[in-house]
C-alpha cells in the first residue's frame, strides 16, 4: 500500500473496470475488455495497478452463515487507564472480533464480534474480550436481524 | 445450530478464494487435484445459496475519504422493523442492524462531511415517528475490518438491496471456461 500523499486516483477507464468488478468480481479480463472496447492487456495492467496501490481489492466475501456464525454482536467498549489504540490492537488479535474501530463519543471503541452460538459467547468470547487490560466496561448489542449490509467501500489502513 | 452445511471441499475452495478471489476455476482444480467442472459447480452452488459473493472493494480514498460513523437509535419497540426499512433506504447508510440490548437499531454509514452526518441524525432520523434517541459516534481510526465476512443472504424481505445481480453473475460465469485474470 502506498503512502497517503501518493494515492493513485482512478480515471474513467479504471472506474468502468471497477464497476464491472463490483458487479461480478470473477468476470474475466477478456469479458471486461470486450464490454469496454479496450484491449485485454490494458485491463490486466489497470487491475494490477489498482490492486498494487491498495486502491482496489477483489474479494470473495462469505456470508457469516457459511462459517456457522449465527450470533453477531455490536459492542461499545469503554477504555480506562490505557491507550485506547493499544486495547484496540489487542482486541484485533481475537479471531472472532472482525472489526475494531476507534471512535468519538461516550465509548472509545466500537467492535463487531461473531460467534457460532450463545454457548460460545459465555464460554470464552466475552471473557476473552473483558479480560483485556484497560477495558472498563462493554455495552453489548445483539444483532437480531441485519436489514442492510453493503461493504464495497473499504477502509484506509 | 446453523442450517448451512459446508463440506471440506467447500471450505477448501473458500480458503483458496480468500487468498485470491480471481483465481481461476482451473487453478483451483489443479491445486485440489479435481476437475474444473467440479469447482465451477461448487462455486455456483455457494453463490446460489447466497453464501458467497465476489465483489470489488475500493479504498475510501477513491470516494473522497468519507467519514465512517455509527448511529445508535432508540425507538418505540413496536416500530423497529418499519424504521429499519426506512433508514435502510438512506444512501449514506451502508448497513442497518436490528439490535437487542444497547440500541434498537444500529446504522453504519459513510458521510462526506461531519455536518452531513449530524444533519442526517438530527433532521432525518431523530424526526422519524417512534425514534426517541439518536447517538452518533465517528470512526477516528479503523484498526481491523474483515470485509470477507459479510451478510449476503437476507432471510426477510425488507426492501433492502438483496444482491439482485447474483443470478446475472452466475449466467456470465456459465460460459466461462477461461481463467479470470490469466490470459
Buried b or exposed e, range B172-183, using 16+ CB within 10 angstroms: bbeebeebbbee
Distance (Å, whole) CA A53 – CA B183: 22
Average pLDDT for A17-45: 95
State the average pLDDT over residues B10-22. Answer: 92
Query: What is the separation of C-alpha A128 from the centre of its chain, rounded to a whole number of angstroms?
Result: 21
Average pLDDT over residues B69-88: 96
Q: Which of A21, A32, A64, A155 to mutate to test the interface with B (most CBs of B within 10 A)?
A: A155
Q: According to the model, what pLDDT value does residue B183 have?
A: 42
Q: Dihedrals φ, ψ of B115, to 5°?
A: -60, -40
Percentage, residues of chain A above pLDDT 70: 94
Q: Indicate whether A30 pLDDT > 90.
A: yes
Residue A87, chain B, CB below 8 Å: the answer is no
**How confident is the model at residue B65, as a pLDDT?**
79
A22 and B55 within 8 Å at the Cβ level: the answer is yes
Query: Does the pLDDT of residue B74 top 70, yes or no?
Result: yes
Q: What is the mean pLDDT of residues A6-31?
A: 90
**pLDDT: which is higher, B151 or B126:** B126
pLDDT band at B164 (very low <50, low <70, confident <90, very high): very low
Residues of B in contact with A157 (CB under 8 A): 142
CA separation for the pair A64, B19 (Å, rounded):
18
User: Is A59 in contact with B55 (Cβ distance < 8 A)?
Assistant: yes
Whole-number pLDDT of residue B88:
96
Contacts of A41 in chain B (CB under 8 A): 183
B21 with A29: Cβ contact below 8 A: no
pLDDT tens digit string along A123-138?
788 888 988 999 999 9
Indicate whether A92 pLDDT > 80.
yes
Residue-wise pLDDT for B127-152, tens only, equals 999 999 999 999 999 998 887 888 88
**ipTM of the complex as predicted:** 0.84
Quick one: pLDDT band at residue B11, thresholds 50, 70, 90? very high
Mutating which of B4, B15, B48, B62 best tests the A interface, going by the most A Cβ atoms within 10 A? B62
DSSP count for chain A of H helices, then E strands? 6, 5
Q: Which regions of chain B carry the CATH code 3.30.70.920?
A: 60-138
Interface contact B60-A156, CB threshold 8 A = yes
The mean pLDDT value for B6-16 works out to: 92
pLDDT at B162 over 50: no
Q: Quick one: which H or E segment has residue B43?
A: helix B36-48
Tell if the CB–CB gap between A102 and B141 is shorter than 8 Å.
yes
Q: Which residue has the cell 436490528?
A: B98
Mean pLDDT (whole number) for B64-73: 91
pLDDT at A122: 80
Interface test with B, best of A14, A45, A46, A66 (most B CBs within 10 A): A66
Q: Is the confidence at residue A86, as pLDDT, over 70? A: yes
Q: Which CATH class is domain B8-56?
A: mainly alpha
B60-138 placed in CATH 3.30.70.920: yes
- State the span(s) of chain B assigned CATH 1.10.10.10: 8-56
Strand, helix or coil for residue A148: strand
Share of chain B above pLDDT 70, in %: 81
Residue among B37, B46, B36 nearest B15 (CA): B46
Question: Domains of chain A by range and CATH?
Answer: 4-52 (1.10.10.10), 64-142 (3.30.70.920)
Count Cβ neighbours within 10 Å for each residue of A73-109 and write b for 16 or more, e otherwise: bbbbbbbeeeebbebbebbbebebbbbbbbbeeebbb
Amino acid at each position: 500500500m502506498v503512502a497517503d500523499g501518493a494515492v493513485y486516483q482512478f480515471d474513467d477507464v479504471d472506474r468502468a473496470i471497477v464497476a464491472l468488478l463490483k458487479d461480478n468480481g470473477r468476470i474475466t479480463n477478456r469479458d471486461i475488455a470486450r464490454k469496454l472496447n479496450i484491449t485485454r492487456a490494458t485491463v490486466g495492467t489497470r487491475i494490477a495497478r489498482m490492486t498494487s496501490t491498495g486502491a482496489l481489492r477483489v474479494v470473495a466475501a462469505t456470508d457469516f452463515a457459511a462459517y456457522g456464525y449465527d450470533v453477531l454482536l455490536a459492542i461499545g467498549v469503554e477504555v480506562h487507564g490505557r491507550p485506547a489504540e493499544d486495547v484496540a490492537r489487542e482486541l484485533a488479535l481475537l479471531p472472532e472480533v472482525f472489526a475494531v474501530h476507534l471512535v468519538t463519543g461516550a465509548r472509545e471503541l466500537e467492535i463487531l464480534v461473531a460467534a457460532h452460538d450463545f454457548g460460545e459467547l459465555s464460554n470464552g468470547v466475552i471473557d476473552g474480550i473483558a479480560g483485556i487490560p484497560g477495558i472498563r466496561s462493554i455495552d453489548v448489542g445483539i444483532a437480531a436481524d441485519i436489514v442492510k449490509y453493503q461493504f464495497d467501500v473499504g477502509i484506509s489502513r | 445450530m446453523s442450517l448451512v452445511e459446508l463440506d471440506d471441499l467447500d471450505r477448501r475452495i473458500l480458503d483458496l478464494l480468500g487468498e485470491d478471489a480471481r483465481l481461476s476455476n482451473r487453478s483451483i482444480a489443479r491445486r485440489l487435484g479435481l476437475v474444473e467442472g467440479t469447482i465451477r459447480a461448487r462455486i455456483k452452488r455457494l453463490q446460489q445459496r447466497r453464501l458467497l459473493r465476489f465483489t470489488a472493494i475500493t479504498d475510501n480514498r477513491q470516494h473522497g475519504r468519507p467519514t465512517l460513523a455509527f448511529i445508535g437509535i432508540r425507538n418505540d419497540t413496536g416500530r423497529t422493523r418499519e424504521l429499519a426499512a426506512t433508514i435502510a433506504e438512506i444512501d449514506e447508510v451502508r448497513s442497518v442492524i436490528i439490535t437487542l440490548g444497547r440500541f434498537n437499531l444500529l446504522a453504519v454509514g459513510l458521510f462526506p462531511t461531519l455536518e452531513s452526518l449530524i444533519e442526517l441524525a438530527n433532521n432525518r432520523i431523530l424526526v422519524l415517528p417512534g425514534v426517541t434517541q439518536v447517538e452518533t459516534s465517528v470512526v477516528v481510526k479503523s484498526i481491523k475490518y474483515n470485509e470477507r465476512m459479510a451478510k449476503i443472504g437476507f432471510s426477510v424481505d425488507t426492501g433492502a438491496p438483496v444482491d439482485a445481480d447474483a443470478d446475472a453473475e452466475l449466467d456470465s460465469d456459465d460460459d466461462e471456461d477461461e481463467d479470470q485474470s490469466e490470459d
